[in-house]
């Protein structure tokens, strides 16, 4: 994240005390926001339960952002690379589950304060900010052949959906989605049409530009030009023609436009078909192929594919790996292609200890009429999670993320190490 040169004395002792308190509990298994926990007794709400929870997380992050140089008064003299910092994340929240044969209702909400302690980089303290998330889902007649699902997702985070942007950006995202699963007869055929409307707004965490960035995607002060509106329509079909094998078909259409700026709009149609099922009692495979075509002004089309395999080594140990190729709308360029390969392993020991590991490589190609742009992203995520009590979960983790781009600038070229500790309390 990117901030101006500011100092805030007198906060280090307090921040250190809070940091030590946070490290008393184990913690995080990844850089992304953790899943909403379950467990404990909760408060009875009709036929459901309301669960309050609280996460206390500490993080040593070697790439929190790009800061002005303390040794010089020049307003645009930045450190050459991203700086390290000790970060606290405080997450109070609520989770509600109401099961019913007529209406299943699920909701969760959390407010997150991201505190840059200033222990390693004094200027980082003014980059502290609020994040949060809320999810609501109502499933009408979930057991009937024809049902209806209405959901809404709201997120404010420094993890944006715009892969073209550099560091130092906050995203405010909301998506309203409706779908209608239809399972006639015995359920061998399932057809699910859906509609969704999403908006995303960007704002800078700071106003300084990372070293070497000469493109608009690197400048946090201009990110509001990438605010967008996205309409989505699609249908997913599944025909189980064998007891353990199904024919699948996915067709969707995205209409992307932007509130300001000269970003090219997109009208993107994607279609994929293939097979999904078990090839043995322990091996499941999904294989799909298709095509993506943009009817927008910039054009663009490509071959799409997905191949994923899951191996159930034992009832408590699973391995997964695969490759997919997708085409998506993006600001500044119109479209980008993503080729991703990934492997994942997860194991449960003694009913309480979960170990997981994840490795992924993304190769991004942006459609542009000028100089072509390509990025490479590599992610590693691993660590344990242990359930001490139904209401107390601890975890620890390590995340490595590297990014290299054909565009110069430290905002798009970096290596980031993160070590996490988290304690989760849930009633």
Q: Return the number of other C-beta atoms located less than 10 Å from residue 160's C-beta.
A: 18
Average pLDDT over residues 166-180: 89
The residue that leads in pLDDT, 52 or 75, is: 52
Write down the pLDDT at residue 377.
94
- pTM for the structure as a whole: 0.83
The DSSP line for 209-245 is PPTT--SGGG-GGGGGGG-EEEEEEEEEEEEEEETTE
Q: What is the DSSP letter of 207?
A: S
Write down the pLDDT at residue 154.
96
Write down the pLDDT at residue 255.
97
The two structure tokens encoding residue 300: 């663009």
The residue that leads in pLDDT, 215 or 319, is: 319
Write down the pLDDT at residue 167.
65
For each of the domains in the chain, give its residue range(s) and CATH number, in order of start: 2-426 (2.40.160)
CB under 8 Å to 151, separation ≥6 — which residues?
Answer: 135, 136, 137, 138, 176, 177, 178
pLDDT over 80 (residue 4):
no
The two structure tokens encoding residue 390: 């139904």
pLDDT over 60 (residue 7):
no
| Range with the poorest average pLDDT among 18-32, 52-66, 147-161, 357-371 | 18-32
- Whole-number Å distance between alpha carbons of 279 and 319: 15
Top mean-pLDDT range of 78-92, 178-192, 201-215: 178-192
Residues paired with 273 in a beta bridge: 249, 289
Percent pLDDT > 90 in the chain is: 59
User: Phi first, then psi: what are they for 108, rounded to 5°?
Assistant: -150, 150
Q: Return the number of other C-beta atoms located less than 10 Å from residue 360's C-beta.
A: 16
Average pLDDT over residues 177-194: 93
Write down the pLDDT at residue 299.
87
Q: What is the DSSP letter of 390?
A: T
Residues in the chain: 427
């Amino acid at each position: 994240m990117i901030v101006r040169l500011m100092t805030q004395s007198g906060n280090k002792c307090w921040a250190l005390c809070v940091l030590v308190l946070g490290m008393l509990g184990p913690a995080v298994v990844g850089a992304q926001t953790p899943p909403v926990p379950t467990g404990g007794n909760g408060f009875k709400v009709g036929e459901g339960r309301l669960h309050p929870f609280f996460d206390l997380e500490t993080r040593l992050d070697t790439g929190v952002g790009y800061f002005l140089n303390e040794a010089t008064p020049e307003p645009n003299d930045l450190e050459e690379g991203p700086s390290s910092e000790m970060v606290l994340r405080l997450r109070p929240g609520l989770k509600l589950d109401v099961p019913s044969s007529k209406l299943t209702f699920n909701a969760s909400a959390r407010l997150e304060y991201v505190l840059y302690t200033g222990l390693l980089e004094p200027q980082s303290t003014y980059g502290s900010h609020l994040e949060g998330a809320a999810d609501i889902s109502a499933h009408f007649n979930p057991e009937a052949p024809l049902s209806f699902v209405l959901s809404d997702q709201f997120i404010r985070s420094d993890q944006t959906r715009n892969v073209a942007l550099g560091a130092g950006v906050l995203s405010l995202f909301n998506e309203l989605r409706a779908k209608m699963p239809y399972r006639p007869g015995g359920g061998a055929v399932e057809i699910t049409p859906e509609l969704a409307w999403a908006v995303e707004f960007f704002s800078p965490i700071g106003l300084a530009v990372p070293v070497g960035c000469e493109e608009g995607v690197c400048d946090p002060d201009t990110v509001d030009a990438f605010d967008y509106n996205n309409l989505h329509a699609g249908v997913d079909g599944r025909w189980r023609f064998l007891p353990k094998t199904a024919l699948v078909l996915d067709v969707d259409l995205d209409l992307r436009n932007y509130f300001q700026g000269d970003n090219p709009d997109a009208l993107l149609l994607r279609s994929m078909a293939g097979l999904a099922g078990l090839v043995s009692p322990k091996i499941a495979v999904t294989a799909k192929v298709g095509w993506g075509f943009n009817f927008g002004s910039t054009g663009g089309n490509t071959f799409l594919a997905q191949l994923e395999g899951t191996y159930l080594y034992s009832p408590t140990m699973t391995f997964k790996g695969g490759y997919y190729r997708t085409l998506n709308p993006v600001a500044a360029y119109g479209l980008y292609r993503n080729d991703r390969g990934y492997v994942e392993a997860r194991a449960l020991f003694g009913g309480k200890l979960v170990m997981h590991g994840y490795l992924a490589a993304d190769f991004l190609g942006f459609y542009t009429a000028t100089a072509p742009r390509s990025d490479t992203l590599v992610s590693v995520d691993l660590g344990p999670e242990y359930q001490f009590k139904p209401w107390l979960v601890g975890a620890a983790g390590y995340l490595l993320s590297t990014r290299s781009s054909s565009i110069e600038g430290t905002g798009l070229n970096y290596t980031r190490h993160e070590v996490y500790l988290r304690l989760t309390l849930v009633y």
